[in-house]
Structure 1
Amino acid sequence: MKKWLALFLLPFVLLFSSPVNAADDITDHYFEEDMRKLIDLGYLKGTVKDGQTFYEPDRAVTRAEFAAFLVRVLEAQNLEVINPKSFSDVKEGAWYYNVVQQAAEMNIVNGTPDGKFLPNATISREAMASMMNGAFEYKGIKLPESELTFKDASKIQSWALLSVKRMVSAKIIAGYGDNTFRPQDEATRGTTSAFLVRMMGELKSPPPPPPVPNFYLATVTADATTKVKEYETYEEAKAAATQSNHVVLKDNKVVYMKSGIVSPAQIYPHASTLYTSSALSANHFSLVAGTETEFIDASETWVKVKYNNTTGYFKMNQATLHPTVTVKGYSYYKADNGKLTHYTYNVNTNTYGSYEYGSSVGLPNGNYKSADGHTFKSVTDGKVYDQYQYFNVMPLYTKTSYTAEQLNDFVMNNKPSTVGSTPLETLGEDFKKAEAKYNVNAMYLLAHAIHETGWGNSDLARNKKNLFGLKAYDGNAYENGAEFPTYEASIEELVTEFLLKPNEGYFMDSWKSNGEVLGNKELGMNVRYASDPYWGQKIAGYMYRMDTYFGKKERNQFKIAATLTDGVRVRSEATALKSNELYKVAKTGTPVLVLNEVSTLTGEGTWYDIAPKNLNGVSNPKAFVYSHGGSYGTNMKLLPLAK
């Protein structure tokens, strides 16, 4: 009877006794409570291995994962995407495709200036703050701001500063015990869970709307800014700014001025995007912090500027306005007995840098202003000179005559005295192999590597064998930078994935392509490859120094001409036939290497025999473009080269 009673009672004991949770990898973890809240809501997923679920509380969170968290917290899993973004690294079929597109649709996430999202890159604390602020704004909530007192507050990038102020004010993200914020540090799944739980609390009980922002009309001198009158709206304050020394302030930042210099971002080496319109969607290119651009106009959200011949817009929170009277310097070129040195001015920090650009022969000794690196205006008498540096506009699908041994010799005998043994002393053969295989100039490849790695001495080069800053995006360059098993693999990646990849490469027909030359922000690789507007000129300077060291055998060996119209046809013969078109030079201003001038027997005018663009297996023995003198008008102009 006792045995039967025990068996009868056992099911009731099992049914009504409290369940015992088996320990998992968040049991007794500091963030266990926050993580379990998200798990119960279905927002935090685990990974099942051998029948056990792992939540990995100490693993860093990726950008795609955080986008997924925010979509779930906002309960936007069914949000219809009206305008999908064409991130080049977010492909349909990837687990994160939908959530990234939904987050972009809500304006919570943005891509990089070169069209990527970086879904697998770990996300920093400041980037989390920015995305969470976007989520609040999507909900129509503008959190109040707190002034930051962290010791490292100056390290917070300008694009994230407002978001961090709001997240700190709402106590969603806190600093560390040593009074630091550590904006570029990664956040773990545990800490992220805590942020999200606090965020959900704010979403349920949003704070009262912040007070109407106050704008001040102020006067500015070289040494002081004095507030004159307070206004409730930006437009009222802007309308009151009628004198040349008037500015408008918000939170002690200049948000309007009558004239001056606008610089992207606030902190080197971070960059800002220059957009094509005040809609702030499509972009021209990015510019590194401290670059000088000319102020044209501003609104509460954008600043209109001119950089050389390009007019565009910065986001107001990614720009710094410097009224004319406060600017203490400017960039200039110095011609000194045949050598042209560029002194670059950082308007944010009031500091100068310099590099050797090329030959100044043809320019009287003195200082010159130039926005494009070839039109020089004398500071002394205002005279204007126009001359291009050969290696800055030389097509890079041409081979150098210099050998692997010579390339190694240049590095060994020209590296700075502070640089010891460097891998670039031994890579000449690898550069020449790439040149022979892909028809990409080996001298350029070495010069590019010298510039990106500080003569092979950077941590990226030594630790990751990354010679070209590949994927080393502004703001977190070393952590984001790609790692390679060998230096040869790094060279191969640059050429095949960045230069010659069909529909995507800088030398191919793609949105990145602006000519197969180093160039500047309006021509060649520099338009998209780097945010430093002088990146192409600096690399050309190293090529100039190489050629000078080897006896000046290649500079100005040929003439260089540029197209005067889009879609100039390149032909296999010096005559216009439907059957002899090889390819088109897509964009106006693209340089070609002129081997010879040819006059046709058919009276079609002057043609140029040019170096053919033989890339990705193409092997045209000859190539010709029509220049001028015939019934087709004028298609080309010879560039005046510095002697």
Structure 2
Amino acid sequence: MKKLSIIALLMTVIGMLLWQPQLASADELTGHSHEKGLRYLISKNALVKDAKGSYRPDANVTRGEFASYLTKAMNLEATSDIVFKDVPDTYVHAKDIKLAASAGIITGYGDGSFKPNAAISRQHMAVMIERAINYLNIPKGTSSITFKDNAAILKDYRQAVAIGAQLEIIKGANGYFMPEKNATIGQASSFIVRLMQLAGDPDAAEPNGGNSNGGNSNGGDTNGGNTNGGNTNGGNTNGGDTNTGSSKYAVKEISNGTLVGNQGFSTFEAAEKAVTKNTQVIVQSDKIVKMSSGYVVTNNYVALKSETINDSLGVAANTEMEYLSSDATQVKVRLAGQVGYLKHADVTLIPFSMSKGRSYYENVNGEIKHTLYDYNTNKYSSSYVFGKAPSFMKQGEKYYSWDGIYFTNGNGSSKGEAYNYYQFLPARAQTQYTAQELDAYIMNKLAEVESTGVSSYKDATKKSKLIGLGKTLKDVEEKSQINAMLVLALAQHESAYGMSNQAQDLNNLFGLYVTDTNPKNKKFDSVVDNINELVEKFLQPNYITPGGSTGKNFANGAVVGSKALGFNVKYASDPYWGAKIAGHYYRAEKALGFKDAKNPYTIGITTTTGLNVRTGAATSFSPLFTYARSGMPVIITSSATNGWYEVLSDKLYTGKAFVSKDYVQVINTVK
């Protein structure tokens, strides 16, 4: 019996040993270098098996998949009406892509697409991760971390890569980041799990319960502490207030350009009630989150959802905008009349009395000069001239404007309204310069930039992609009814006079398919093909034709304009892009004798929404098209007849077009 008992015991032990591996059987992720991240995504229902039963950890991750991973990991819920033309509702990740876009974490291409099935590069992931960092309010600093291949990282993306590396979310190999290399699903999962560890997601925590850096990822009590880091260094992030304990907000007063005092409060609402003077501000972690007056500067590229035109606008870092109000989570701003909301992590609030410098306009020898301020270095960084100065601008006085149209002086008093002729000249205008004159100007300009000695302009008179484009530009003007000088000005600006790498290597003069988040190195067979693509796929169907013939409405006025109206609303994130293009046109005019300015077009601005442009001067004629929004510039070609103006059609059309005089205001342009 004893032997039988021993044998039975041995058989039981052997059975257990044989059974145990089956309970914890290895799968394709066991021992994988990115196993932790992969299993984290699985736990969030972000990563599922394909039809063959595989998680595909070593396959390239697509843009759609990565957007979906972020959405599910961050538990995004708020949505808006942002849509991409190549992401139908039936697409597997459609909902997650929309949520990520609504949160400002992803943006699309200039043609309204997102390209969800395209493989995503490591540097593109870094940009999305930086936006996620901002969305999650994860503390970050300005990092100087670089990789051996830093020069290969697109300039606008280096900050995102550096911040991700500093926070140890992003890691390279042997000192290299490999920005253009496509990321795998496994790599993407590791990036995301590290991100969510910093955000305090318990599902992302290390097995020992600690942060990957050895500390508590929440910085304190998860039931009552600050989930954004709380006391990150063992001290109070409100500036050392020893009387308020765990206070999250402080009320401080502006005194001689600095903040003094430190009255602590546990909630934003309590701090708000304690503010009794215009000189007081509310501070969180040494960052102003509410003030009585001042302005707002973007810390990085942001997507501003404009409530004014119900559209999302790309806005570059270092952009100044009007401060309207703020609460604990967001800031209400106005950019060139476009009202929207941004997260505190995306912006810096600057009371007027604490401003160390601000971009301004001035009259210099009769020309309007715009000087820009760099908030990263706290220095004036650059300036440009873009036309004649309006008559109300006095030399030696600084002027300020949110939109380049309405100007105030240093006291905030209104000083005048000015529409720069070249900035608000509709694209259907024709320049009076011939192809030969354009070619002569191009060569003179190239000789000028070449003589500066700047290395990027070396041999410009021999190598520039602008050489000999006069006839092509005039052919475009005749066939497509788009101003040849305007197209040249755009090419000069976007291609550094035809000497940029994209121009030289890809025949891309206009930055086509290159956005702040998704550059695409598309090579054109020739600059002529590139110009035709600009006209046929961008300007004509989307930016000039009202309503957009492709179903994506980028038509906010057929002028280069500003963030208030024109191409600049959607074409470029730089709020002064339109003024800079106008500057190129103006300087060409100055060199060639001001032929266009001496025989100018009459320009009007529409004053109502839903305005029909008709084929005849009466409501009985069919509408040619409709302006959805007000404030659209039009070229008036004849004086009013029976209450109607004859105008140039923004839609490609050879016949006459008419609009009711009652809804158009003629403007005085500065030229």
TM-score category (smaller protein): 0.7 to 0.9
- When residues 253 and 385 of structure 1 are mapped into structure 2, their CA distance, relative to the original with a 3 A threshold, is closer
The residue correspondences of 1:98-113 to structure 2 (distance < 5 A) are 98-102=92-96, 104-105=98-99, 110-112=105-107
Q: Which of 503, 508, 511 in structure 1 is aligned with 2:546?
A: 508
* Structure 1 CA distance for aligned equivalents of residues 628 and 140 of structure 2: 50
- Greater mean deviation of Cα atoms: 363-372 or 334-343: 363-372
One-letter identity of the residue aligned with 1:236: A
Identity of aligned residues (%): 30
Question: 1:90 maps to which residue?
Answer: 87
Query: Which deviates the most, 115-124 or 233-242?
Result: 115-124
Change (3 A) 1:33 1:475: closer
Question: Is contact 1:526-1:536 (8 Å) kept?
Answer: yes
Q: Secondary structure at the match of 2:368?
A: strand
1:371 is the counterpart of 2:411: no
Unaligned runs of 5+ in 1: 1-15, 17-25, 628-633
Counterparts in 2 of 1:273 and 1:310: CA distance versus 1, 3 Å: closer
Equivalent in the alignment of 1:411: 442
State the Cα distance separating 1:194 from its structure 2 match: 4.1
Q: Which residue of 2 aligns with 1:485?
A: 525
Name the aligned partner's letter for residue 112 of structure 1: T
**Match in the other structure for 2:654:** 619
CA contact (8 A) 2:435 2:473 kept: yes
Superposed CA offset, 1:473-500 (max 9, x none) = 2256xx4454433222222222122222
Deviates more, 1:556-565 or 1:30-39: 30-39
Alignment of 1:144-159 (within 5 A): 151-152=144-145
- Match status 1:342 vs 2:366: no
Paired amino acid for 1:392: Q
Distance 2:406 2:157 in 1: 34
1:360 offset after TM fit, Å? 2.4
For 1:355 and 1:149, how far apart are their aligned partners in 2? 28
Q: Does 1:216 align with 2:216?
A: no
Aligned residue runs from structure 1 range 472-621, under 5 A: 472-474=514-516, 479-480=519-520, 482-501=522-541, 504-510=542-548, 511-555=553-597, 556-573=599-616, 575-579=617-621, 581-599=623-641, 604-605=642-643, 607-615=644-652, 618-620=653-655
Q: Which moved more, 1:198-207 or 1:235-244?
A: 198-207
Query: Equivalents in 1 of 2:607, 2:142: separation in Å?
Result: 55
- Please report how far the alpha carbon of residue 527 of structure 1 lies from its aligned counterpart in structure 2 after TM superposition: 1.5
Pair 1:34–1:331, CA change in 2 (3 A): closer
Contact 1:150 1:179 in 2 (8 A): no
Q: Distance between the aligned counterparts of 1:147 and 1:640, measured in 2?
A: 47
Deviation at 1:110, TM superposition (A): 4.3
The answer as to whether partners of 1:60 and 1:122 remain within 8 angstroms in 2 is no
The normalised TM-score by structure 2 is 0.72
1:464 paired with 2:472, answer no
- Secondary structure at the aligned position of 1:423 is classed as coil
1:240 maps to what in 2? 274
Q: Which among 229, 235, 253 is matched to residue 287 of structure 2?
A: 253
Residue correspondence of structure 1 range 376-395 to structure 2 within 5 A: 376-377=407-408, 384-395=415-426
Query: Do 2:63 and 2:115's aligned partners in 1 also have CA atoms closer than 8 Å?
Result: yes
In structure 2, C-alpha distance between the alignment counterparts of 1:38 and 1:305, rounded to whole Å = 37
Which secondary structure does the structure 1 equivalent of 2:670 belong to? coil
Query: Are 1:145 and 1:162, in contact at CA under 8 Å, matched by a contact in 2?
Result: no
CA contact (8 A) 2:612 2:624 kept: yes
TM-score (norm 1): 0.75
Task: Give the aligned partner of residue 311 of structure 1.
Answer: 339
What CA distance in whole angstroms lies between the structure 1 residues aligned with 2:473 and 2:445? 18
Check 1:290–1:355 CA distance in 2 against 1; reply closer, same or farther (3 A cut): same
Q: Deviations over 1:395-445 (max 9, x none)?
A: 102332323332232222124233232111232333233223322111111
Shift, 1:566, TM fit? 2.6
Which position in structure 1 is the counterpart of 2:382? 353
Structure 1, residues 101-120: CA drift from partner, whole Å, max 9, x if none?
23545878744277654522
Per the alignment, in what secondary structure is the counterpart of residue 596 of structure 2? coil
Match for residue 192 of structure 1 among 188, 192, 215: 188
Letter matched to residue 121 of structure 2: T
Letter in 1 for 2:92: N
Partner-residue secondary structure (3-state), 1:455: coil
Q: 8 Å contact 1:263–1:348 — kept in the other structure? A: no
The aligned amino acid for 1:257 is M
Residue 450 of structure 1 deviates from its aligned partner by: 1.0
Give 2:264's aligned residue: 230
- Asked if residue 62 in structure 1 is aligned to residue 89 in structure 2, the reply is no
Contact 2:40 2:193 in 1 (8 A): yes
CA contact (8 A) 2:316 2:575 kept: yes
Within 2, Cα distance between the matches of 1:37 and 1:378? 59
Partner of 1:451: 493
Residues 1-23 of structure 1: per-residue CA shift (max 9 Å, x gap) = xxxxxxxxxxxxxxx9xxxxxxx
1:299 is displaced (CA, Å) by 0.8
Offset at residue 446 of structure 1 (A): 0.9
How far, CA to CA, are the matches of 1:89 and 1:312 in structure 2?
A: 26
Counterpart CA distance in 1 for 2:71 and 2:414 is 59
Give the 3-state SS of the residue equivalent to 2:250 in structure 1: strand
Q: Distance in 1 between matches of 2:38 and 2:573?
A: 43
Go from structure 1 to structure 2 and tell me whether the alpha carbon gap of 1:392 and 1:159 turns closer, same or farther (over 3 Å shift). same
How far off is 1:54 after superposition?
A: 12
Cα contact 1:561–1:593 (8 A) shared by 2: yes
Secondary structure, counterpart of 2:477 in structure 1: helix
Q: Note closer, same or farther for the CA distance 1:393–1:129 as it changes in structure 2 (3 Å cut).
A: closer
- Could you report, residue by residue, the CA deviation over 1:445-493 in whole angstroms, capped at 9, with x for unpaired residues? 11011111221222222222221122322256xx445443322222222
How many pairs does the alignment contain? 572
CA contact (8 A) 1:568 1:584 kept: yes
Q: Are positions 1:31 and 2:33 aligned together?
A: yes
CA–CA distance in 2 between the matches of 1:244 and 1:568?
Answer: 43
- Work out the CA distance in 2 between the residues paired with 1:585 and 1:459: 38
Q: Give the letter aligned to residue 515 of structure 1.
A: G
CA distance in 1, matches of 2:537, 2:142: 44
Give the secondary-structure state (helix, strand or coil) at the position aligned to 1:539: helix
Could you list the per-position Cα deviations for residues 379-398 of structure 1 after superposition, in whole angstroms to 9, with x for gaps in the alignment?
A: 69967343322222221023
CA contact (8 A) 1:338 1:359 kept: yes
Query: 1:523 Cα deviation (Å)?
Result: 1.6
Would the alpha carbon gap of residues 228 and 529 (structure 1) be closer, same or farther in structure 2, given more than 3 Å must change?
same
Contact 1:110 1:117 in 2 (8 A): no
Measured in 1, the distance between the counterparts of 2:287 and 2:429 equals 49
User: How far, CA to CA, are the matches of 2:467 and 2:638 in structure 1?
Assistant: 36
The 1-side partners of 2:336 and 2:129 are apart by: 35
CA contact under 8 A between 1:248 and 1:254: conserved in structure 2? yes
Alpha-carbon separation, structure 2, partners of 1:180 and 1:438: 47
Of 293-302 and 64-73, more deviation after overlay is shown by: 64-73
Tell me if structure 1 keeps the 8 A contact 2:303–2:315: yes
Q: Partner letter of residue 558 of structure 1?
A: Y
What is the distance in 2 between the residues matched to 1:130 and 1:444?
36
**Residues 521-540 of structure 1, C-alpha deviation per residue, up to 9 Å, x if partnerless?**
22211122112221111111
Alpha-carbon distance between aligned partners in 2 of 1:196 and 1:308, rounded to the nearest angstrom: 36
Residue 152 of structure 2 corresponds to none
Change in 2 beyond 3 A, CA 1:221/1:159: farther
Shift of 1:256: 1.6
Q: Is the 8 A contact 1:563 1:635 kept in 2?
A: yes
C-alpha change, 1:588 and 1:102, in structure 2 (3 Å) is closer
Of stretches 578-587 and 409-418 in structure 1, the one that deviates more from structure 2 is 578-587
Equivalent position SS for 1:393: coil
Indicate the SS of the match to 2:276. Answer: coil
Q: Which residue identity does 1:538 align to in structure 2?
A: K
